[in-house]
Chains A and B, each alone.
Chain A
Amino acid sequence: MSSRRSTYQRIRRRETRSPRSVAAIILAIVLISTFAWLAVEIVLGMLNRPPILVAPSVMATALVEITSLPAASLVGGGLVIALTGWAFIALAVTPGRRGRHILESTHTVILVDDDVIASALARHAASAAGIGLDQVRVTVSRKRVEVRLTPTSGILLDRTAVLNVVTDELDSYQLQPTLEPPRLSIAREGKVGA
């Protein structure tokens, strides 16, 4: 049983974080293309054939004389390269949350997409407020739930009742990571003829 728990633990961790596969695969393809091009250039150089783009010896000379380039273009180029690198480091280090929550279950691991939670809460909010589904907007992020209602013009909304219903429903899911109590906002302008 304990091995199953550790397996479940691993799944919970993996399924709520990004694998960064897309970024890694794109980067690997770019590296493969660059390596292949460099290899071809070196072979062409060995055979004394004309290069595809730049001969290796020309590359080396350019690198040596890099200080003769205008300072502005060196700084600009360096900045672009450094910022790209910084973006890769950020991708490598940040968790990359996947917009999912874990639903309490003893038997299995249940992962729920945030938009499913949002649409379920929206339906409860709409029925509690007595308005249409299209007058409710719910957004669910990792820690927060925001409910925005557009009342029907001339009809007062029971703020506490809606909030209670949404809070109770959310509490019943027992989601991980825990969501803060929902925030409710009611649009000042009502919808006419709804």
Chain B
Amino acid sequence: MNSTNRFANRLLLLLVGLTAVVLGAAAIGLATSPALAEGWDEIAPGVLTGIETLLQGTTATQSSPNWFPAGAVAVLLLGIVLLAIFILRQGRGRTNRLIVNDAVKGGTTIIDAAVAADILNEVLSRQPGLVASHVSAYKVHRTPILSIQVTCRRGASPQIVGDIVDSSLNDLEIFAGTEIPAVVQIRGGFRTRHTAPDISIPA
């Protein structure tokens, strides 16, 4: 339900994975192919001396400051900031407002997600087939969507539980006077195993 950028998640995994495969293959290649190893031994020292002079940085012997190490540090810091943003952007997208209706003359009607949550939790808590419910709202495609998670008792029919939640939502829609897009998640989960089997719903 959240707005986590899943493409970015997979892209990061893919890029790091590809890099690791290439590096690993290169190491194996250097160990197994004499031609590759020779080529490496020829080219690498020259590259090293070049990098070494760069990495010495602003030592006393140099007249003009060398910006290469500072640049490398800056690139690393930029990478750190980007990755930190990447982590912080996971799992967002929750919203407090479920309905914003400004088509009303002379004002705007706002219904908080908390209202829907209170009403639905109250109604659903009276259902013997359900152990718990959790209601929140998320923005998907800029539209608020109600997320209803219910934990049902062992053996409860998902069809019946789905109908119960659906009709509760219907009542809420009549109360709110508008359609409320919603996603229902029916879970068993840990708590189910510690509750009595559901005998209230006929088999």
- List the interface of chain A (C-beta within 8 A of B): 3-4, 6-8, 10-11, 14-15, 17, 19-21, 23-25, 27-29, 31-32, 35-36, 38-39, 42-43, 45-46, 48, 56-57, 60-61, 63-64, 66-67, 69, 71-72, 74-75, 77-93, 103, 105, 107-113, 115-117, 119-120, 122-124, 127, 133, 169, 172-173
20 examples of A-B residue contacts, CB within 8 angstroms: A21-B90, A25-B90, A32-B80, A42-B73, A64-B45, A71-B31, A75-B27, A78-B27, A82-B25, A85-B18, A91-B13, A93-B10, A105-B184, A108-B181, A110-B162, A110-B184, A112-B186, A116-B161, A119-B154, A169-B157
A24, A83, A105, A117 — most chain B CB neighbours (10 Å): A24
B187 touches A81 (CB 8 A): no
B76 touches A82 (CB 8 A): no
B30 at the binding interface (Cβ < 8 Å): yes
Query: Between A and B, how many residue pairs show CB distances below 8 Å?
Result: 262
B13 touches A27 (CB 8 A): yes
A67 touches B203 (CB 8 A): no
* Per-position 1/0 for B157-182, Cβ under 8 A of A: 11101100110011000000000011
Q: Which residues of B contact A46 (CB under 8 A)?
A: 57-58, 69-70
B158 touches A89 (CB 8 A): no
Q: Which residues of A contact B170 (CB under 8 A)?
A: 107
B128 at the binding interface (Cβ < 8 Å): no
Interface residues on B, range: 35 or more
Bound form: Cα–Cα A25–B86 in Å: 8
* Per-position 1/0 for B1-13, Cβ under 8 A of A: 1001010111111
Sample of 19 further A-B pairs with CB below 8 A, known A67-B41, A82-B24? A4-B143, A20-B6, A21-B9, A32-B79, A39-B80, A57-B55, A57-B56, A63-B44, A67-B30, A72-B31, A75-B27, A84-B24, A85-B24, A89-B21, A92-B11, A105-B184, A109-B182, A117-B158, A123-B203
Docked complex: B54-74 residues within 8 A CB-CB of A = 55-59, 69-70, 72-73
B123 at the binding interface (Cβ < 8 Å): no
B31, B56, B181 — most chain A CB neighbours (10 Å): B31
A78 touches B31 (CB 8 A): yes
Q: Which residues of B contact A88 (CB under 8 A)?
A: 13-14, 16-17, 20
Known: A78-B27, A111-B186. A19 touches B4 (CB 8 A): yes
Q: Which residues of A contact B40 (CB under 8 A)?
A: 66-67
Q: Which residues of A contact B27 (CB under 8 A)?
A: 66, 74-75, 77-78, 81
By beta carbon, the residue of chain B nearest A87 is B17
By beta carbon, the residue of chain A nearest B78 is A35
Q: Which residues of A contact B184 (CB under 8 A)?
A: 105, 108-111
Q: Which residues of B contact A107 (CB under 8 A)?
A: 166, 169-170
B114 at the binding interface (Cβ < 8 Å): no
B156 touches A120 (CB 8 A): yes
Known: A19-B6, A25-B90, A43-B73. A3 touches B141 (CB 8 A): yes
Q: Which residues of B contact A173 (CB under 8 A)?
A: 158-159
Bound form: Cα–Cα A89–B12 in Å: 10
